[in-house]
Amino acid sequence: MNNIFKYKIINEEIAITGLQEGAAETAIEIPETIEGIPVVEIEPETFRSTSITDIKIGANIRKIGEKAFYMCKKLKSVTWNHKCDVVPAFCFSECSNLTKFDFSNVKKIGLYAFYKSGLQEVRLPKNIESILEGTFSGCSELQSVTWHCQCDMIPTFCFDKCSNLTQFDFSGIKKIGQYVFYKSGLQEVYLTEKIEILDKGTFSGCSKLQSVTWHCQCDVIPADCFFGCSNLMQFDFSGVKKIEARAFMGSGLTSVRLSKKNEVDQNCFAYCNDLKKVEWLSARSIKGDIFKGCKNIKEIFISDKVKNIEASAFVSSPNAEITFV
């Protein structure tokens, strides 16, 4: 099989650079040696957009370049070796038939390494030390994630648009990055006491999300956090100090109860078309854009300690009955 590869020799070691023209093999095994010289590297984009179906990484491979298997849409099986502990950036991006991968020999997963791949289940063991942005972004077939790795932060865009991912165990997580679950299929979220930081847009666009339990240390709901969560009808704000801009914009909330400690930013509840009842028990001013576009509010209860209500605050709710309490 040695003659199917293009390669170059550097310092008495071989780096695979591609397949020979006319090579018909689709089940590929990277050899340990070629003509007695150890094969230690697969260069960037080596197998990009080829028709390979199976790849077995040779025992001597120490390094694999970015996009090595990018857009190998027929790739179904990968056998990784124990010497190469990094899955590089975009390595298996758009490998739509790759349904599984064994991470037991991996320490680091690079940027968008499995973007739009066909992975259905992901098990991240303790040997994994680092996961970078967008690793599993766009994996629309992904249904299950087991997070046992050393890293306690979920990076930005890690599971965005994973439309079949309906649940996630946050018990080992301390920080959740920007738009991690954007437009994912999550239906229920339980945020544990270990979570210290949530970043912008964490659950934005999760149209199937119905339940959120907020027990995390973080007392700020970040901007765009539940933007467009059209099936999220209830939320308990008792453990929250600040709600940032657009946090619930376009969500399915039917009622909002805000206490004295809740600080509310612009457009927080704008265009919540199912919102029927508002309880504003804080003495803070009510700005004009907080409930912008909320056309179906029927009941509004406002603390009599509120000193300023902007004229446009409830202009979108002409049929609402306002009561001062």
* Spatial contact of 265 and 245, defined as CB atoms under 8 Å apart: yes
CA-angle at 210, arms to 206 and 213, nearest 5° = 100
For residue 312, the model assigns a pLDDT of: 86
For residue 76, is it within any domain? no
CA distances from 124 to 10, 73, 252, 293 (A): 34, 23, 33, 43
Per-residue pLDDT of the chain (325 residues; tens, 9 = 90+): 447 999 999 999 999 999 998 888 899 999 999 999 999 999 999 999 999 999 999 999 999 999 999 999 999 999 999 899 999 999 999 999 999 999 999 999 999 999 999 999 999 999 999 999 999 999 999 999 999 999 999 999 999 999 999 999 999 999 999 999 999 999 999 999 999 999 999 999 999 999 999 999 999 999 999 999 999 999 999 989 999 999 999 999 999 999 988 999 999 999 999 999 999 998 888 988 999 999 999 999 999 999 899 888 888 988 899 999 9
E strands present in 30-74: 33-34, 37-42, 54-56, 63-64
Element (H, E) at 191: strand 188-191
87, with CB counted inside 10 A (0-12, 13-18, 19+), is buried
For residue 225, is it within any domain? yes
Query: In terms of domains, do 166 and 178 share one?
Result: yes
Query: In terms of domains, do 207 and 316 share one?
Result: no
Main-chain phi, psi angles of 20, to 5 degrees? -65, 145
Query: In terms of domains, do 91 and 195 share one?
Result: yes
> For 194, which DSSP code?
T
Residue pLDDT, tens place only, 59-79: 999 999 999 999 999 999 999
Among 41, 43, 44, 1, which residue's Cα sits nearest to residue 25? 1
Query: In terms of domains, do 210 and 252 share one?
Result: no
For residue 292, is it within any domain? yes
Structural domain count, the chain: 2
Among 284, 287, 278, which residue's Cα sits nearest to residue 305? 284
CA atoms within 13 A on the CB side of 146: 10
CATH number of the domain residue 137 falls in: 3.80.10.10
* Spatial contact of 157 and 178, defined as CB atoms under 8 Å apart: yes
Tokens 């992904």, located at residue = 142
Residues paired with residue 41 on neighbouring β-strands, in sequence order: 15, 63
Domain of residue 245 covers 219-325
